[in-house]
Amino acid sequence: MGITVKNEIEVQLLKKRLRFDPRTKSVIVLIFLTSVLYSSNIYLLGSLAVFSLFLAIIVRARVKFIIISLFFLSLFSLIATLLANITLTVENVYFLYAIIVCRFTTSFLIISWFFYSVEPYELAISLEKMYIPAMLVWFIITIYQFVPITARKAQEINDIRKIKG
């Protein structure tokens, strides 16, 4: 009942067909962020949030991290909504809260999808293909590598703490 060689080959071919270039992924991220920033349609924002959650789960982002982050994003959105309600006198507070939550959630999830799905060397190659100067590519890749490396080191420290008790 295990995976046969034929099925494994089909899975590898499917993965190769569904791979996007980092430039394409960055365009997708920019489209998402622009749509989230300039839209106040709750249906569009909700569908973008669900789709970005789907993308983040596909790239095998840490589910526990996403759930904790979504909790804190909703808490932050609640505080932002309360401050907006105090200062702006909004008619429907729940609608404002839903818009703020969808904006924060979609932005966070789509950026995490980009960081989890693009390797630094892929990004460097695609930036060089765009004729971006080497010093700027080096600068971008250094900043880009900081986030995953810091996350891995933090995970290693937490694992060591769990082992020690």
Residues 29, 114 contacting (CB under 8 angstroms) = yes
How many Cβ atoms from other residues are within 10 Å of residue 45's Cβ?
21
Helix segments in the chain, DSSP class H = 5-17, 22-38, 42-58, 63-88, 93-117, 120-129, 134-164
Global confidence as pTM? 0.69
Instruction: Spell out the per-residue pLDDT of the chain, length 165, in tens.
Output: 455 555 555 555 555 555 778 888 888 899 999 999 998 888 999 899 889 888 888 776 677 777 888 888 888 888 888 887 777 776 777 788 888 888 988 998 898 888 888 888 888 888 888 888 989 988 888 888 887 677 778 888 888 888 887
Please check whether residues 27 and 71 belong to one and the same domain.
yes
CA 27/CA 116 separation, integer angstroms:
16
User: Which pLDDT value is given to residue 15?
Assistant: 55
Domain membership of residue 43 (yes or no) is yes
Domain membership of residue 15 (yes or no) is no
Number of folded domains that form the chain: 2
User: Which pLDDT value is given to residue 67?
Assistant: 82
- Residue range of the domain that includes 137: 119-165
Please check whether residues 28 and 82 belong to one and the same domain.
yes
Q: Which of 92, 48, 98 is nearest to 73 (CA)?
A: 98
